Each structure stands twice: as structure tokens, then as C-alpha cells.
A = this chain, B = another copy of it.
Amino acid sequence: MNITLTLPDWVNQEIEKYPKHILMQEERMKLVIRLSQLNFVNKTGGPFAAAVFERDSGKIVSIGVNRVVPLNCSSAHAEVVALSMAQNKLQTFDLGSQEMPAHELVVNWRPCAMCYGAVLWSGVRSLVIAGSDDAVEKITGFDEGPIHPDWIDEFKKRGIDVLDNVLRDEACAVFREFAESGSPVYNGRGGDTES
């Protein structure tokens, strides 16, 4: 038995509208937020997207969107998908190896408890996020899970820089749009939840 992770068909069409290199981090985030919106509007997953860039050149290496429900895979969060796609494309399990340029992951919110570790092991040297407080949990009902209390410092200890609050309002606007759409929120352990 094999597991296959795929991106929705609309991703390629959308990406063709953008330049192949995006230098400014706000522009990188703008792309990611747009993908997070298209993902739930197209009913291809939850309102989360991620992209791996060459940190300095801005070259787009890979895209990921949340695919949990369509692929029946609770690990198919946007970050895991984007990082796996980048590693597959570059044929390495370590995006931080000495032979290649530094890589950056851009995501439309802070990593959940799982994606925190996935970022650590991926080899990326920087993480750009739209926000890190409990706004997403409050707006959408998604559970981010128990992350290490000093998670940003622990990233830094391992050579990963974090840039927070990039286009926070724009990201939250999409989360609100998602919440108002009545789309499903899945946190696992459906048998235990009361709603």
C-alpha cells in the first residue's frame, strides 16, 4: 500500500499568474494567503497554505495546501506538503545541506504542534508567518495543539529564524471568511469532541 500526496489542479493555474522569483517577504505571504483562500473556496482542504522559497533569490521551490480531508490524511497539513514537495523536487531530505542555497518556509499562521517539528527536521533556515497568537483558534475553532512554550527560541537555537506578523490582518480576513462559510473544522478525535 502506498500513500500519495497531491496538490489540487487549480494550484498550477494560480501559480502561473506569479513571477518565478518573489523577493519581498510580504509578497511571498500575499501568494500564500491567496492559496489558503482558494483552498477552502475550491473545497480542496482547510484554509492553510505554505510555500518554500530560496531565501535570498526568492525562487519559488514548492507549494503546499492543507489536504487532510480530501486525502484522508491527518498529517497532510500545508507545511508538511510544501516541505515534502520541495525535498522531492530537490531530491534531498535536508533543505539545509551545505550544497544548496538557504530555504525559507512561508505559512499563513504559526505551525501547529506537528508542523513545528516538521519545520525543524526539514532543513529550512527561516520561517515567515502571518501571526502566532490564538486568533486562528478563536476565529476558526482549529486546535493548534500543545507546542513547546519557548518554540521560537528553540527554533533559533537550531538555526531557524522566525519573522512573525507579516500581513496578519489579511490572513485573519481569510480565516473569518472561512468561519463564515460554514466549512468543516476537523481536529481529529471526532469521537471525543462534543460539537
A-side residues, CB < 8 A to B, are 1-7, 62, 68-69, 71-75, 80-81, 83-85, 87-89, 91-94, 96-98, 112-118, 120-123, 125, 145-151, 154, 158-159, 186-192
- Are the C-beta atoms of A92 and B120 separated by less than 8 Å? no
Residues of B within 8 A of A74 (CB): 83, 87, 93-94, 118, 121-123
Given the interface pairs A84-B3, A84-B73, the reply to whether A188 lies near B93 with Cβ below 8 Å is yes
Nearest Cβ on chain B to A132's Cβ, whole angstroms = 16
A94: contacting residue among B7, B89, B123, B186, CB under 8 A: B186
Nearest Cβ on chain B to A39's Cβ, whole angstroms = 15
- Supplied contacts A3-B4, A114-B120, 4 more A-B pairs, CB within 8 Å: A2-B5, A4-B5, A74-B93, A94-B190
- Are the C-beta atoms of A97 and B145 separated by less than 8 Å? no
- Are the C-beta atoms of A93 and B69 separated by less than 8 Å? yes
Q: Determine the distance from Cα of A78 to Cα of B152 in the docked complex, in whole angstroms.
A: 26
Question: Which residue, of A92, A145, A146, has the highest number of chain B Cβ atoms within 10 A?
Answer: A146
- Are the C-beta atoms of A188 and B73 separated by less than 8 Å? no
Residues of B within 8 A of A117 (CB): 112-117, 145
- Are the C-beta atoms of A4 and B2 separated by less than 8 Å? yes
23 contacts between A and B (CB under 8 A): A1-B89, A3-B81, A3-B84, A3-B85, A4-B4, A4-B5, A5-B5, A69-B93, A73-B88, A73-B93, A75-B75, A75-B122, A94-B186, A94-B188, A94-B189, A96-B191, A98-B190, A113-B117, A113-B120, A120-B145, A123-B188, A146-B148, A158-B189
Nearest Cβ on chain B to A165's Cβ, whole angstroms = 22
Which B-chain residue is minimally distant from A150 (CB atoms)? B146
Residues of B within 8 A of A73 (CB): 84, 87-88, 93
Q: Determine the distance from Cα of A120 to Cα of B69 in the docked complex, in whole angstroms.
A: 16
